[in-house]
Structures are given as C-alpha cells and as structure tokens.
Structure 1
C-alpha cells in the first residue's frame, strides 16, 4: 500500500464572536442545503375547476387568465416560492370571480335590453293598429 494523501475538506473560517458570547458560534459555518425545518403545509387550492367552468360558461378571456394563474400554483409551490404560489392562487380565484361577474352583468344588461325593446315595440304596435 502506498501512503497516498487524500484531499482535506475545506476549512471554513470561524464565525465572529460577540462580546459576552459563550460557547460555539451560532449556526453552521457554511450554508446548509436540503429540506428546511419550516413546514408550510399543503399547497393552496389552485381553483382550477372554477377557472375552467368560468372559461367555458362565462367570459372566455378572463377565464383563460384564471386557468394560467391556477396552473402556476403547483410549480411555484414545488420551487419553494410559497408566497408567490399563494398569490397565484388568489389571482386565479380573483380572475374567475371577475369572469363570472362579467357574465352576470352581460346577462343583466341583455334582460334590460329585452324589457326595453318589448316596452318600446309594445307601445309602437298599439299606436300603429287602427281602432
């Protein structure tokens, strides 16, 4: 056997100590990788069902934006961007609500239009009939 030297692990400088501090310096001398101690729980609801329903049944452009936002939730959560994933979930919900509200407003305006047309043509028809 030969006396082969193996490479040594790099020596990291010791972290500074503050006056009055006892014991080893706090924390590791270099960054730790892997799973962190924080437990963020399950990912937020992405509201994909509502996004699809509002796209099909309501206002398509706003529903498409809702679908795009809801699809971003899982990938952002997997990347560890939890605040951005929650924001994307909230945005997906907001766009789905706006899509449904837009459809409700349009249906309401159509009903008002029909009532106005019935009233206008109803009066016009009574004035044109000979008596």
Structure 2
C-alpha cells in the first residue's frame, strides 16, 4: 500500500528518561536519534527510520548501563566512607 508511513519506534520517552536519570551526553545523542527516527518515519523513509531507531536504542542501553554502574559506584563509595568514619 503506497503512501503509508512506516511504524518505527522512536524511543523518545526512553531517550528523555536516559537524559534526565542516567547519562546526559548519551541521552542527548539518543534524543537526536529518536527525533531523526520520527522525522524519517513521517517522511516515509523506513530504512532511515529503522537505522535511527536502532541507534537511539543502543545509546539508551549504554546510557542505562552507565547510569547503573555510576549508582553502584556511588553507593559503594558511600558505604566505604561511612565504614571509615564509624570505625
């Protein structure tokens, strides 16, 4: 059917959450890719939309992992500091 738009996930909400909660630089890059996916989808360019969506997803996964690792490091450092002050 000609004239239909491809249904490609942009991952925009995930990108915004990555920016706000996990890793600012990767989140911003993911937002840019998400927006490109939306624009390509609106233009009917399925291959470009899928590529941008894939990049946004990868950036979000990396940003989430970085955020989790950072949280674990901060908690570990806080526990070490608390143990040293208490002992």
TM-score of the superposition, structure 1-length normalised? Answer: 0.58
Runs of 5+ consecutive residues of structure 1 not aligned to the other structure: 1-36, 124-131
- Whether 1:115 and 2:79 are equivalent positions in the alignment is yes
Deviations 1:47-70 (A, max 9, x none): 101111111122111100000000
Larger RCO, structures 1/2 (Cα 8 Å, 6+ apart): 2
Runs of 4+ in 1 over 4 A off after TM superposition: 37-41
- The answer to which structure has the higher helix fraction is 2
Whole-angstrom CA distance in 2 between matches of 1:56 and 1:85: 24
Do the aligned partners of 1:43 and 1:74 also contact (CA within 8 Å) in 2? no
CA RMSD of aligned residues (A): 2.1
Bigger Rg, structure 1 or 2 = 1
TM-score of the superposition, structure 2-length normalised? Answer: 0.82
